[in-house]
Structure 1
Amino acid sequence: MTSGDEELAKDLGLLSALTIGVGTMIGAGIFVLPGQAAAAAGPAVALSFVVGGVISLFTALSASELGTAMPKAGGSYYYVNHALGPLFGSVAGWGNWMGLAFASAFYTLGFGEYLASFLPLPALTLGPLGLTSYQIGALLAGTAFVAINYIGAKETGRIQIVIVTLLVGILTVFSILGFLQADISTLRPFFPAETGGAAAVLPATGLVFVSFLGFAKITTVAEELKNPGRNLPLAVVGSVVIVTVMYAIIMVVLMGVVNWRQLAPEFTQTPVLDVAEIAFGTLGLAGLGVALLTFAGLLATASSANASILASSRINFAMGRDKLVSDKLNAIHPSFATPYRSIAVTGGLILAFIAVGDVKTLAKAGSVLHLIVYGMLNIALIVMRQADVEEYQPAFEVPLYPITPILGAVTSFGLIAFMEPLEILLSVGFVVGGVVWYLVYARGEATKQGILTQYILSRADEMPAPAVSAASTVQPDGGDYTVMVPLANPEHEHDLITLASAIAKQRGGRVDAVHIVTVPYQTALQYGADHVDDLDAESRDLLERARQHATTFGVDVETHTVISHQSFEEIFDVAADHDADLVVMGWGPDSHGAPGRAEGRFDELTEDIPCDFLVLRDRGFDPSEVLVPTAGGPDSDLSAEVATMLRSEYGSNVTLLHVADEVEEGEVFLEEWADSHGLGDATLQVETGDVETAIERAAVGKSMVILGATERGLLTRLVRGTIAEDVVDDIEGSVLLAERARHRGFLERLFGD
């Protein structure tokens, strides 16, 4: 575990990265689709696999560049959302999520076919509906895969290498023996008239494209790769090339040993096993050959299905983080530390697709949705290049730009035209659904503008009017993020406004500076408003300085003077009236009368805070070295968001601290928590022992500590005090307490979570 100024280890080599892509892709084209593919194009289907590989290669190059520049959870979805904005991000997110669900069901059906080849699984008839034996096997397997992901079992990089090595070894032996038995004459005519001749190649490519959906998963581990500028593109492109060559060779071998017409689904469900029996039979090892290929088929389809389920939860997390779906979907299981709701929803969809779908439909449905995402991914690369974003610094650049991403976009979208009308209609339905979802739900929640929107609006005078109008119309409403700053002490006004402005800038929002002037209950509020200069001579100057400080960040700022009989309590009313998303206020005996707490004691018993709160104990605003202690929970989530924004604005060095009973257990928790909050590249530090002492020790040399404000209830705090209040006086740097708005019941307020 790292500490101090050390960096996280980059412990994945080229071989490990290659096996991630190859292991995900190698199953479908060889073990599930040969019969369907042969029936679609005859011997020319080998060419279909090559075309699919070439189309994938364009996108693989674009994904490699984007991956080295933006190694983020969500992969393809993240690139599209970041570059093109949340409207396209909604389409990409839903398309990628559902595409993975279709693909997982497809892989699991393949697993069921191989399982049914040696286990006597029953068929089931329910009225007009029926389930075949391999669907029963697929449902059992799918349930097991979902359960494995639900409880958090992990597949290590070393095991993945072993799995892929075994698969490649078995398939190499199979190919050699099959080639020795092949009769090339069975491949003539190469373009049989009964399948449509050469015109059948592209429709067949649409069918088999599901075999190439794994290469983009490599980009999700870019930050863990040794020498990512070299190894990431080699792994992504290399995995596509390897499986393309393997697919083409093995399809030729299959159709050379058994006439392609006999590979069709009406003759056999597992053509690879039929060919294996012949190929190994020449050595008197027919039984062994069938057993080996059955084992390989189970291994390959299980690996692909499991990887797709795992990837879907990453997409859900990324969409939740960007507020395109409810973050409740990403709730972490208290025992397993997995996003169990996301996995459960995805698992339910997969099982439903298994029950009602067939191999061909599922394959094409998964392909169509991924092709849409891949097309947008290539466009995202062009946008990032043309916008010339300062932080976009890829370690690898695609060759022949812009030809490569243009070809990637054109071929990805173009291949959809060769699908069946049902699959095209399905893809249009998901695109329309993603747009409607954004306009109805996500637009009012999302705050992040895409690079494309920023680029167009910043050059409105140079851009065509329809482009500017469209960019303005679809930009997120959540971008009007309001940070309210109640000002009381001129000494700390500058730092409070600086913090609030930095956050407002990162969220594309505005600052609302409020000065509450208190008058006695004997004085009418209208009289106070008419004589505010007499009652508080500094009010006007305080707000004017706040306006000047905020405008240096380029954010909109509003100032208000509020006349009230209350001081501290009025903050909550004003925050609610002004629809604030976040309140940034000062800490101390002269800071609104409630040092260290975002609620008054009485308020906590009766009300919930109206929005998120940050309470600053100001010892000089310096966000260069930030410490974020965490034990999980909503307040720590807010701490992570603030740390991320400070890092984006000031380049802060962020250290995450977790105090645990066992170091190893603490390391696992902190790594998962960091990754799930977009802080995977932060310095991670695990301590044992007393929490207060550990925080104070870790805070040495840190310029700011961001600490969750509320982890205990009122009675617990009154008896024991709070860690936040105990620690703050012993830390030299500034302390920022973060408290997330949430509904809490009366008993929870009394006794804590």
Structure 2
Amino acid sequence: MSSDEELAKDLGPLAALTIGIGTMVGAGIFVLPGTAVARAGPLAAATFVIGGVIALFTALSASELGTAMPKSGGAYFYVNRALGPLFGSITGWANWIGLAFASSFYMYGFGEYVNTLVGLEGIGLGPVTLSAAQLIGFGGALLFIAINYFGAKETGTLQIIIVMLLLGILTLFTVVGLLDADLDSLRPIAPPGTTAEVLPVTAIVFVSYLGFVQITSVAEEIKDPGRNLPRAVIGSVLIVTVIYALFLLVLLAAVPTELVADNDTAVVDAAELLFGQYSVFGYGLGTVGVGLLLFGGLLATASSANASILSSSRINFAMGREKIVTPKLNEIHPRFGTPYKSIAITGGLILVFLLVGNLELLATAGSVLHLIVYGLLNLALIVMREAEPEGYDPDFEVPLYPIVPIVGAVSSFALIVYIEPFVVVLSALFVLFSALWYLLYARQKVETPGVLADWILDRSEELPDAAVSAATSVQPDKSDYRVMVPLANPAHEKHLITLASAIADERDGTVVAVNIVQVPDQTSLEGAREQRDHEDADRLLEQARADAETYGADVETHVVLSHRAFEEVFDAAKRFSADICVMGWGPDAHGAPGRTETTMDELAHSLPCDFLAFRDRGFDASRILLPTAGGPDSELAAAVARVLKDQYDSAVTLLHVAEDRDRGETFLRSWAAEHDLEDAELRVETGDIQTRITDAAVNKTLLIIGATEQGVLSRLVRGSLVPDVLSEVDCSVLLAEKRHERSLRERVFGTSDRDRLSEETIESDSPMRTDDSRKEAQ
């Protein structure tokens, strides 16, 4: 299956809402009250409210992002799109693994409740002992993995049934509890020492709020996501927060605090006490209450696990679609329409975590990883709002921007501080793994750099160098050959693009067309951006795109505002990771005729990539003349001649001017064979080099010549052409100069031609840089 397949829109608004509620209403009600009350007393209810408020900030951000980009993957997709694939990798892995941890936690709880009914014993497997809860949870996990395998529609229907039953049981318990509630039982509201425990307990119970963002993970499958997604995300947080707070208040007001504190089955024991006060036809209802709450616990843990498996598999699917993991995970089942490979892998992780983890580790690990995701998601919203990328048009907008996403990000990251240090360190290792996974694996495969990187690079002159370097250093590296073309004069655009497209096509690379707009020093770049008439630049780049695509080359376009013109070409070559730059050369090229600044020499003496300077007298590659004396830059010239010969079936003539004709012929034959130009016409002359090149160029359509000395580009700009023959021939001229860098000694004392020749000869056997050398340059 192709990587751009879409998932069917099978989820209605109620199913979407119940995914969030079903994921959250689980451990928060049936497992955590005992721990929360033991540490915070009656303030335990406040910890759930605080957790709900923190979750609400992120829910608002997630709703806006979800309506703007209703794609499978949810938070991962939004962060990847906004902050770039490095943070996308961190978010994807954290969300995926965090949900797998949470699903294992839910199934562990499921096993505990089942075991309360059946009373099984654990088993020992050598040095490892598996509890009955783990074994039962393992079987339950297999069941829900299979259910998800058969499609979102069946899963959504199951969620509706489970959540409705669950809410009915909790409502009945609350009503019965209200009949015996005594507000005096809540006093003192804040016993000594409990106030300091509020935030730590909030961090523990926050695992109960992992469901709402998971609704966005199936956004691609929700009907009318513009309306239904915000309702489901925000509504699920509000509903669950009210349920948590009301339930805990009733629980603490209706039964003794001692019965709840440090009791993992507090709600079951409370049900036995409360329902036991009533009888029907002489039969006490205590057993009925216990049965209802046990059944409710089973439903809660089951629905949480079911919804988490559903969402985590979609995150895995989205990571495969964006090539963070192998796109083979994208394969959709031909019958059920689900990403069955993603579900299978996610299910495998859940089973492993279930067998090796304990209840507290699974819960808190899932919580920390999700808090990282929530913090990054809020930052993603800020980036999308500030950058205003094309196509970002949400149906729902966050109120009180930017306060909401800022508070959401800060509170999410801050809450991590209060979690067990071992779990934080474990989660940090997962984050480190995610970053290394991107840098060592995914960076070679992903294609889009993200909105933040583009925003930074577009403002490279205004932002600190450290920010620009950081954005560049982690950009995707598809290992494609990048040919940059600085464009200024529309009259020469087509010929430059034609030449660049030929080179890019030969290497299966990309043409990067750049229009550098020079801004007066008196005008700020931001002011120029706001006032600039984009029409001319857009027209030039659109024409360049059309021309490049005509020749079958991939193309990307950029407009760069700068206080410099020619100098900016060098920075742009670094910024856009160019392998070779094809630039125009003439009296009005890049706004730099006859310039004499020493910075030009400095720039041209440290070329960030290979350079081709084209003197345009019409592009015709039918008859090429290539003079050579064997220098390293003539290797680049030979490579370009080979490309043009392959693309245009050019007739290539090699020229060597020597003192001894026999030795010259021997050299030229050897050089031609070494550079795969054996079928070229060989011409050996004696005498004055400039005269012989001029004579040989008669009736030729293109002269390609390697730079004979370092810094020739700066000489071109100053108008002192080297050699002078380049201005005397009638045909177009292409001057080739290889990438090189200057050491500190060379900057101070200069570089001799012999030193340069020795250094560059051993630099690379390839006249056009290889992918490895490109990486080294970066």
Compute the TM-score of the two structures, normalised by the length of structure 1: 0.64
Residue 385 (str. 1) matches residue 385 (str. 2): yes
- Name which of 265, 270, 273 aligns with 1:270: 265
Please list, as runs of the form range in 1=range in 2, the aligned pairs for 1:206-225 lying within 5 A after superposition. Answer: 206-222=203-219, 225=222
Deviations 1:680-715 (A, max 9, x none): xxxxxxxxxxxxxxxxxxxxxxxxxxxxxxxxxxxx
Distance 1:322 1:481, change over 3 A: farther
Structure 1 stretch displaced more, 441-450 or 64-73: 441-450
2:253 pairs with 1:256: yes
Counterpart position of 1:83: 82
- For the 8 Å contact 1:122–1:136, the answer to whether it is kept is no
Secondary structure at 1:446 match in 2: coil
* 1:11/1:350 CA distance change after superposition, 3 Å: closer
* CA–CA distance in structure 2, aligned partners of residues 361 and 21 of structure 1: 23
Residue 323 of structure 1: CA displacement? 2.1
Instruction: Give the CA deviation at 1:368.
Output: 0.6
- The aligned amino acid for 2:420 is E
Partner in structure 1 of residue 366 of structure 2:
366
Matched residues in 2 for 1:42 and 1:19: separation? 30
| Structure 1 stretch displaced more, 37-46 or 204-213 | 37-46
Q: Give the distance between the partners of 1:357 and 1:476, measured in 2 at CA.
A: 35
Deviation at 1:338, TM superposition (A): 5.0
Quote the residue 1:664 is aligned against: none
Q: Is the 8 A contact 1:313 1:342 kept in 2?
A: yes
Check the 8 A contact 1:48/1:204 in 2, yes or no: yes
Shift of 1:315: 1.5
Q: CA deviation at 1:501?
A: 4.0
Counterpart-to-counterpart distance in 2, 1:19 and 1:383: 30
SS class of match (2:118): coil
Among 198, 202, 205, the alignment partner of 2:202 is 205
Equivalent positions of 1:537-576 (< 5 A) are none
2:152, 2:232 → 1: CA distance? 25
Q: Secondary structure at the match of 1:125?
A: strand
Mapped to 1, the partners of 2:337 and 2:225 lie a distance apart of 29
Alignment CA distance shift 1:348-1:218 (3 Å): closer
Of the candidates 236, 241, 250, which is equivalent to residue 238 of structure 2?
Answer: 241
CA distance in 1, matches of 2:185, 2:551: 73
Show the counterpart of 1:589.
none
Would the alpha carbon gap of residues 223 and 355 (structure 1) be closer, same or farther in structure 2, given more than 3 Å must change?
Answer: closer
Report how far residue 355 of structure 1 moved: 2.5
Task: Name the structure 1 match of 2:64.
Answer: 65
1:264 Cα deviation after fit: 4.2
1:477 matched residue in structure 2: 477
Partner-residue secondary structure (3-state), 2:213: helix
Contact 2:39 2:197 in 1 (8 A): yes
What count of residue pairs does the alignment treat as equivalent? Answer: 534
Equivalents in 2 of 1:355, 1:474: separation in Å? 37
Question: Structure 1 stretches of 5 or more lacking a match?
Answer: 1-6, 488-492, 542-557, 561-576, 581-753
Q: Secondary structure at the match of 2:117?
A: coil
Cα-to-partner distance string for 1:275-298 (whole Å, 9 max, x where unaligned): 222222224322322222222222
2:83 and 2:450 in contact (8 A); partners too: yes
Residue identity opposite 1:191 in structure 2: A
Distance 2:319 2:220 in 1: 20
Q: Specify the alignment match of 1:145 in structure 2.
A: 144
Q: Is the 8 A contact 1:116 1:134 kept in 2?
A: yes
Aligned partners of 1:77 and 1:93 also within 8 Å = yes
CA distance in 2, matches of 1:452, 1:328: 28
| Distance in structure 2 (CA, Å) of the matches to 1:276 and 1:59 | 34
CA distance in structure 1 between the aligned counterparts of 2:681 and 2:171, rounded to whole angstroms: 89
Letter of the 1:384 counterpart: M
Q: Report what 1:529 is aligned to.
A: 680
Deviation at 1:353, TM superposition (A): 2.2
C-alpha separation in 2, matches of 1:413 and 1:13: 33
- Is the contact made by 1:229 and 1:396 (CA closer than 8 Å) also made in structure 2? yes
1:555-606 superposed Cα distances (whole Å, 9 cap, x missing partner): xxx999xxxxxxxxxxxxxxxx9989xxxxxxxxxxxxxxxxxxxxxxxxxx
Shift of 1:502: 5.0
| Greater CA drift, 401-410 or 216-225 | 216-225
Q: Relative to 1, partners in 2 of residues 1:260 and 1:351: Cα closer, same or farther, differing over 3 Å?
A: farther
Percent of aligned pairs with the same amino acid? 57
Q: Structure 2: how far apart are the matches of 1:83 and 1:356?
A: 35
Q: Point out where structure 2 has 5 or more consecutive residues left out of the alignment.
A: 1-5, 483-500, 508-544, 559-575, 581-639, 653-671, 684-695, 705-733, 737-767, 772-778
Show the counterpart of 1:411.
Answer: 411
Q: Which residue of 2 aligns with 1:712?
A: none
Which amino acid is 2:64 matched to?
Answer: E
* CA deviation vs aligned residue, 1:38-59 (integer Å, no higher than 9, x gap): 2232221110000000000000
SS in 2 for 1:478: coil
Contact 1:203 1:418 in 2 (8 A): yes
1:143/1:157 Cα in 2 relative to 1: closer, same or farther (>3 Å)?
Answer: closer
Q: Which residue of 2 aligns with 1:726?
A: none
Equivalent residues in 2 for 1:313-392, closer than 5 Å: 313-330=313-330, 338-392=338-392
Aligned twin of 2:229:
232
Q: 1:494, 1:339 → 2: CA distance?
A: 37
Q: 1:348 to 1:509 in 2, by over 3 A?
A: same
Q: Distance in 1 between matches of 2:13 and 2:255?
A: 37
Give the 3 Å change call, closer, same or farther, for CA 8–379 of structure 1 in structure 2.
Answer: closer
Query: Is the Cα–Cα contact under 8 Å of residues 365 and 423 in structure 2 kept in the other structure?
Result: yes
Residues 255-285 of structure 1: CA deviation (Å, up to 9, x unaligned):
23333333345xx542222122222222432
What per-residue deviation string (whole Å, max 9, x for no partner) do you get for residues 396-418 of structure 1?
Answer: 11000000000000100011111
The AA in structure 1 aligned to 2:409 is A
1:698 maps to what in 2? none
Contact 1:85 1:448 in 2 (8 A): yes
Give the CA deviation at 1:167: 1.6
Separation in structure 1 between the aligned mates of residue 275 and residue 289 of structure 2, nearest angstrom: 5
Q: Deviations over 1:182-226 (max 9, x none)?
A: 343333332233xx3111111111111111111112224445556
Q: Which moved more, 1:141-150 or 1:388-397?
A: 141-150
Shift of 1:496: 7.9
| 2:177 partner letter | G
CA shift for structure 1 position 518: 8.8
Contact conserved, 1:519 with 1:528, CA < 8 A, in 2? Answer: no
What SS does the corresponding residue of 1:130 show, helix, strand or coil?
A: strand
Distance 1:40 1:433, change over 3 A: farther
Residue among 274, 280, 283 paired with 1:279: 274
- The aligned residue for residue 421 of structure 1 is 421
- 1:430 corresponds in structure 2 to 430
Shift of 1:97: 1.2
Q: Which residue number corresponds to residue 120 of structure 1? A: 119
**Aligned-pair CA distance for 1:13:** 5.0
Q: 1:374 to 1:120 in 2, by over 3 A?
A: same
Q: Does 1:466 align with 2:518?
A: no
Q: Offset at 1:528?
A: 3.3
The AA in structure 1 aligned to 2:228 is N
| 1:459-495, Cα deviation, whole Å (9 max, x unpaired) | 10000111111111121222746695369xxxxx988
| Conservation of the 8 A alpha-carbon contact between 1:504 and 1:510 | no
1:107 CA displacement: 0.7
Displacement of 1:335 in angstroms is 7.8
Tell me by how many angstroms 1:537 deviates. Answer: 9.2
Q: 1:16 to 1:330 in 2, by over 3 A?
A: closer
Equivalent pair of 1:277/1:290 in contact (CA under 8 Å) = yes
Instruction: Judge conservation of contact 1:21–1:218 (CA < 8 Å) in 2.
Output: yes
Letter in 1 for 2:505: V
Offset of residue 509 of structure 1: 9.1
Calculate the TM-score normalised by the size of structure 2. Answer: 0.62
Aligned to 1:640: none
